[in-house]
């Protein structure tokens, strides 16, 4: 008699921030893909290749490419970000800040109250 097949793997639940009547493009995506893009832009501005970042933390270049494309998040994100900062000779906080600015500039327009709160926060940072 054949063994029963294994139960199907359940995908983790992905809670949506959408509310009734909202289109998908009206919902902001998470910050993390923008962090990958910020790292890529900083790396390219300094003419550093992905292989150099990968070598710094002993991963393959494909891992760096997937992170920069926003496809996958690394197992040790802090180590990866510190490698970018070290190899690019920059403060890691600038990578986070650049990602945040990209996120605000490229995601759907926030409601009026949220826009005011973001402006107030940026003003406190004197940006």
Domain map of the chain by residue range?
30-125
| Cβ atoms within 10 Å, residue 88 | 19
Query: What's the confidence (pLDDT) of residue 118?
Result: 81
CA distances 120 to 59, 97, 114, 117, 123, Å, are 40, 16, 10, 5, 5
| Per-residue pLDDT in tens (0 to 9) along the chain, 127 residues | 445 444 334 333 344 343 444 454 555 568 889 999 999 999 999 999 999 999 999 999 999 999 999 999 888 999 999 999 999 999 999 999 999 889 888 877 678 888 888 888 878 877 6
pTM of the model: 0.70
Query: What's the confidence (pLDDT) of residue 74?
Result: 85
Determine the 3-state secondary structure of 36 from DSSP: helix
Q: DSSP H helical segments within 58-111, as ranges? A: 61-68, 77-87, 92-106
Determine the 3-state secondary structure of 81 from DSSP: helix
The CATH architecture of the domain made up of 30-125 is Orthogonal Bundle (1.10)
């Amino acid at each position: 008699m054949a063994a029963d097949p294994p139960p199907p793997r359940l995908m983790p639940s992905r809670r949506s921030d959408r509310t009734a009547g909202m289109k998908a493009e009206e919902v902001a995506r998470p910050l993390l893909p923008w962090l990958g893009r910020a790292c890529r832009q900083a790396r390219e501005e300094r003419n550093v290749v992905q292989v150099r970042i990968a070598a710094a933390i002993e991963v393959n270049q494909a891992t760096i490419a997937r992170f920069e494309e926003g496809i996958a998040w690394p197992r040790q994100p802090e180590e990866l970000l510190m490698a970018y900062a070290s190899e690019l000779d920059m403060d890691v906080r600038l990578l986070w800040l650049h990602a945040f600015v990209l996120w605000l500039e490229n995601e759907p327009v926030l409601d009026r109250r949220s826009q005011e709160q973001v402006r107030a926060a940026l003003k406190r940072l004197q940006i």
